A and B are shown apart, each in its own frame.
Chain A
């Protein structure tokens, strides 16, 4: 759908908006994905720590492993915006 009354400025502004939206989707959706993955790991980690306190350091680390997903999302968003 092309609106003939659109000026060049409007087109440019909407393109900036589109980029911002794309960046938001990149961060938002990967954030949800990372959260879903961390959900299972986190609950297992709490269980493991309850059994044996020594594994705390290790499971804390395991919990951040899926954070890679959202970090890639953030990287893509940063590249989109800047």
Chain B
């Protein structure tokens, strides 16, 4: 927990004739995180060289490219592909050689045909667009050209034009603007052009067609319908191929991807003429398994040893969490993966995030709806990230139901028992009665949560600094964090000694000792002074951050504010839908009354759907933000390297 998986650094040396069994074995175990070998760039360097790919690498990657092209054409994505039956890898190898070229040819033929047809459709649509302005003008399109003594103008103008010279003009008003066609003897060209220019003339190309415009358009529309039918045919054929080969294609991709990764692995090793050296990381618990497996695969012709982990080594990080906390790793990865020697806060976020979410969206109705939504979406949202997100939301929704019971809320209505936590019920509507929300109680609850959470962050920071730093800096850094804790609690003691507050200890009654302050006040002052000194000793600039103890703790009042706003929206929706629209009509049902009732139901459904969406977004993002901004900034840095072992989890194939 709290710490990432322990890693060991492994060095593997063997002669080159053992490279294939070693790679196969490492790939099968999917545990070895290869440290890529980087060749020294110095001139005249003589030493280890990067290895060369094994035979078959080019063919495999060529086939992989082909398969991915086909997958793209069909939009088959292995991530959201249901695994029905695992296929034998040996059978697939033969199938790839035999069937892949045929499938590729077929698919290529169909895609080429489809794109040709699509281009044709576009061409015809363009022609229709060109013809459309001429619909309103009587006459054959042949009449627009082929003159030696006349010139034809066609285009849009802003308003009607009168031309002083001899001409024939057609003018029509349309949706796209005023369309005009002018035919005039060639010697009047300049006069007509000038007149048209004055009316903002925009020329239109005269289509290279003959016949009545409307007839031509009808002809092209007919053609387009025919071509679209053909495209539909091609699509159906493609669908048939997809249906038939999809599971084969995803399995092929998996096999070939594995082959490519294995054959190209030597590019990541250091080699000499006769030997190779592979360096990498494995979880400490698996060192023995891996070493024994390698010895067995090579009949002992191999040297495997564990290297010491140096201070400056960047160790890859793999989470090590109990199963209930695993989905929350998504939230940590969104921020940044922990460093190897850092506390992993996953388990804390996995417990506290649902609590915050529940405190904000504490409503049995919304919680239950969200829970149903999460369980329902599990079938549709595939891929690891999606599943993790749904699991996080599922936990959050369960917490929301629990807090809904405690707050006594169901879609903004009160449940038949009083709220066990400070009440959030508002008095909305003219006849509302009741106590109204217990705002001071809620605020103090949120502030207490903030104080505890921020203090916890500082304590974790003490642990982190004690583990990571060295020498004098370590003491200073630890003391600075102790200083921050003293600052927070000293300030609290000082406030408690002067102002009585609900849900907080009250020390105002104690007799004053010095300068009007009582014992608690004095302890508080001393704590603050010591705290400031500790902080300043580590870094004077940090003192600028002192007001953050107020702003960060007060920031937790968002739990109340965001929650209360969602309660208010729910209650307003209920009041409009039921109080104003539905219940007055129920006393005396008329036809118009029924209409009002239907409107009321619609308002109720849409209002609550919107409020739930807002609640999930608000509850989720603000809980997350409290972690990222208020909690993590105290102790967490992140920036660790992801543990990415050589190998893959096979989903579609087996040996």
Which A residues lie at the B interface, using CB under 8 A? 57-58, 60-61, 64-65, 67-68, 71-72, 74-75, 78-79, 82
Contacts and interface: CB of A to CB of B under 8 A. Distances in A.
17 contacts: A58-B334, A61-B624, A61-B625, A65-B625, A67-B622, A68-B558, A71-B557, A71-B561, A72-B554, A72-B557, A74-B561, A74-B564, A75-B554, A75-B557, A75-B560, A79-B439, A79-B443
Contacts of A74: 561, 564-565
In the complex, the 4 A-B pairs of residues with the closest C-beta atoms, listed nearest first: A82-B439, A74-B561, A71-B558, A57-B334
B622 A64 contact: yes
B572 to A, nearest CB: 15
Interface of B: 334, 436-437, 439-440, 443, 554-555, 557-558, 560-562, 564-565, 621-622, 624-625, 628-629
Of the candidates B440, B555, B561, B562, the one having the most CB atoms from chain A within 10 angstroms of its own CB is B561
Contact of A82 (B436, B624, B628): B436
B430 to A, nearest CB: 16
Contacts of B561: 71, 74-75, 78
B68 to A, nearest CB: 19
A61 B443 contact: no
B416 to A, nearest CB: 25
Contacts of B625: 61, 64-65
A68 B439 contact: no
Contacts of A71: 555, 557-558, 561-562
A72 B555 CA distance: 8
Contact of A60 (B554, B565, B621): B621
Given A58-B334, A61-B628, A75 B443 contact: yes
Contacts of A79: 439, 443
A78 to B, nearest CB: 5
Given A64-B621, A71-B562, A82-B437, 17 more contacts: A57-B334, A58-B334, A61-B334, A61-B628, A64-B622, A64-B625, A68-B558, A71-B558, A72-B557, A74-B565, A75-B554, A75-B557, A75-B560, A78-B439, A78-B561, A79-B443, A82-B436
A25 to B, nearest CB: 17
Contacts of B621: 60-61, 64
Contacts of A61: 334, 621, 624-625, 628
A61 B632 CA distance: 14
Contacts of A60: 621
A78 B440 CA distance: 9
B620 to A, nearest CB: 10
Contacts of B558: 67-68, 71
Contact of B564 (A57, A58, A65, A78): A78
A74 B440 CA distance: 14
Nearest to B385: A57
A65 B443 CA distance: 20
Contacts of A67: 558, 622
Nearest to B446: A75
Nearest to A56: B334
A77 B60 CA distance: 67
